Amino acid sequence: MEKILTQAEWIDRARAVLPAGGFGNFDAGIIIREGKGSRVWDEDGKEYIDYLIGSGPMMLGHGHPEVMEAVLEQLPKGMTFFASNARGIELAEEICRAVPCGEQLRYVSTGGEADMYAIRLARAFTGRTKIVKFEGGYHGMSAEAQMSLAPAKRVNFPQAVPDSAGIPPSVAAEVLVAPFNDFEYIKQLMAEHGHEIAAIIAEPLQRIVPPLPGFLELLREQTQKHGSLLIFDEVVTGFRFSYGGAQELYGVTPDLATLGKVIGGGFPLAAIAGRADVMRHFDKAQVGAEGWLMQLGTLSGNPVAAVAGLKTMEVLRREGAYDQLNSTGKRLMQATSAALEEAGVPFQIVGEPALFEVVFTGAKVRDYRDTQAGDAERTRRYNAALREEGIFKSPGKTYPSLALTEEDLQQTEAAIRKAAMALD
């Protein structure tokens, strides 16, 4: 009989073979054994209500029966081909129908890849090299994306600060960094450098910080004025904020959007979607060798991921799905506000109902530096108390899902009240 290992034993084994003892994604001190619906269990059998949900993709919860059925039907037909397949074509058609900017689409396997190729595509289309990103904006792990994601030191804008070892200094010269939600700064930056800028890349909701009214419209106006492209990183917000993503919710259409998480239904799948005249640079026959952007990937358009994504999106199209998700998010935001107000703790609830977080500060949160001004120790204690009460979440985000039940929500509300009281 195989010995059942404790979580501590698994952690010891991980430390021997994995740098920092984990996969680099999340707290290496917890090993998840399984997930079902709205819940996960660790290797010691402790049960949690899951607000991490795989960092966003499991909007329907773990093991949704219709998604499982679709996957199990596909598996005997083939797991990957490195060739086009009908399910991947169907999924591309549905994404392009749903996403306002999506005239054509190219698959990759991860959101980080999608962002990297979107940046390269903008350079190929415009013939320019500089990219504008916002301080604190997350766009994957490419060299450009690792500029001023979480800078340890503050410098004057638009100087870029590398967040990782191994990035050549020359990369910083091609990335201009701006503060999110700063209207005047973007105008000034584009007035000075617009002729050099291939694209502005932005999360429409930057991590948890919503755009101020008119800010995304300003980005659209400025990129059009200066002949640059506007890229929305919708890896997180795509199909979460609405069926057409944040660009539909906020009413601003970019030139390109990167998508991931939800479109794969829990399997590795991502995409770049955008204007056909920009996307044609993936087609050597249209643009020639000089304009061609080479892109390929072993698992791009994987049929198992495609059927999982198709079924997930079918469920999301059903009447009331987004009303339910937003209603759940609003309830959790209100419960958090009530508990923290009662505890007398300064805080801001930041984000949208489908994705939000509490920042322990009395000041308004408009950008990355405002989030960093929050009380980090209080945040740590609050999240630790929630974990103790059976709430599994990221330290910086809360992802509601459609799998949450009334019982889950009542248990969560009780946990929030206990965690708030622990902050005295």
Catalytic residue list: 138, 233, 261
What one-character DSSP code corresponds to residue 180? Answer: T
Residues in the chain: 424
Residue 49 host element (H or E): strand 47-50
**CA dist 40 to 52, 248, 407, Å?**
10, 32, 15
For residue 377, give the amino acid letter. E
For residue 117, give the amino acid letter. Y
Coil, helix or strand for 106? strand
The structure tokens listed for 248 are 């539909």
Q: Is the N-terminal amide bond of 158 cis, ω within 30° of 0?
A: yes
Neighbour-count burial of 201, counting CB atoms closer than 10 A to its CB (0-12 exposed, 13-18 middle, 19+ buried): buried
- Angle at which helix 321-343 crosses helix 303-316, to 10 degrees, equals 80
Nearest to 261 by CA among 210, 203, 327: 203
The structure tokens listed for 76 are 């005997």
Residues 117, 230: Cα–Cα separation, whole Å? 14
Cα dihedral: 334, 338, 340, 342 (round 10)? 180
With beta carbons less than 8 A apart as the criterion, state whether 259 and 313 touch.
Answer: no
- Angle at which helix 183-193 crosses helix 215-226, to 10 degrees, equals 10
Question: H helices of 75-168, where?
Answer: 86-98, 111-126
The structure tokens listed for 42 are 């660790």
Beta bridge partners of 39: 36, 49
Coil, helix or strand for 292? coil
Nearest to 174 by CA among 151, 153, 145: 145
With beta carbons less than 8 A apart as the criterion, state whether 190 and 222 touch.
Answer: yes
Residues 6 or more apart in contact with residue 188 via CB below 8 angstroms: none
Residue 134, number of CB atoms within 10 A of its CB: 27
Beta bridge partners of 162: 147
